[in-house]
Copies of this chain bind each other. A is one copy, B any other.
């Protein structure tokens, strides 16, 4: 049907022949290497354009000394999650400045899937990897790193030789938020947390515990719900807590989906003005709810940008020998009302 489709695409050899120069010269011109007479440069450039030559990055990286593919990969929990996608965007922007493209994939918090993704990416010879690690793939990451591929882990701390990390100050952020609740007089504070296998979930709970310890009060285990994986789970757990005996006067939700679930439960019971709520991680239009939802905000863009910078500096080479660097990005408490509700006497 279409005629021209099956014709071989034009190659450097074609350009060389047409321009009456050697293959090596074309390569030099295309790569902007010095030591070619201006006249030849002009001729080659022109012929290339005339023939519609397109440089084949794949073939090029095969022989190239540094074997760079100008591609990095991003392993996220879910590319559609607001935190992940904001991070993705920041990474993309930093990469673009150097003409680098980004492959992205979602692990869904499954170590198996994470492993597959890392595998698929490295088989394609990506220049570097930014990973939001499930925590069960340290050996694999170490092996990949050992083979030479630079890696930066984001959001969760891991200790692997020459693997940088960029994390958020989870413990401190949580601690100071819960402290505010205590200062308002809250004594029965519920905690909703994600899977315990997740580093951030543990850190946030630790911050929660810190705030209690500081006041010389033990954490009330009956108000703690960990291992919640969805908005629905948070909704159910919150409803249960509030309709039981001695209900909490405040709720701390340690993840954005959980915050939404908790809030939905509060509104379901019509007590959003009476029970305090603070969430970890901001979400869209949290300020438009009544009352607005107070949160411990993270800055995914900064996390992403920092991670990309660390990675790209290693990719560029030169400082890839340096030991791991661990950057911690601070959080910011955003008061919008729901965290400022005093206990109902």
A residues lining the B interface (CB < 8 Å): 1-2, 4-6, 9, 54-59, 61-62, 69, 71, 78-82, 85-86, 88-89, 92, 96, 99, 101-106, 120-125, 146-148, 162, 260, 263-264, 267, 283-286, 288-290, 321
Contacts and interface: CB of A to CB of B under 8 A. Distances in A.
A79 B92 contact: yes
Contacts of A54: 122-123
A174 to B, nearest CB: 22
A92 B88 CA distance: 15
A263 B284 contact: no
A323 B29 CA distance: 40
Given A62-B62, A284-B284, A89 B80 contact: yes
Nearest to A104: B104
Copies of this chain, how many? 2
Contacts of A283: 284-285
A120 B101 contact: yes
Contact of A288 (B5, B69, B260): B260
A124 B5 contact: no
Contacts of A61: 58
Contacts of A88: 79-80, 85, 104
A69 B102 CA distance: 15
A187 to B, nearest CB: 27
Nearest to A69: B58
Contacts of A62: 58-59, 62
A263 B284 CA distance: 13
Most buried by B among A80, A106, A124, A260: A80
A92 to B, nearest CB: 6
B105 A102 contact: yes
Contacts of A96: 105
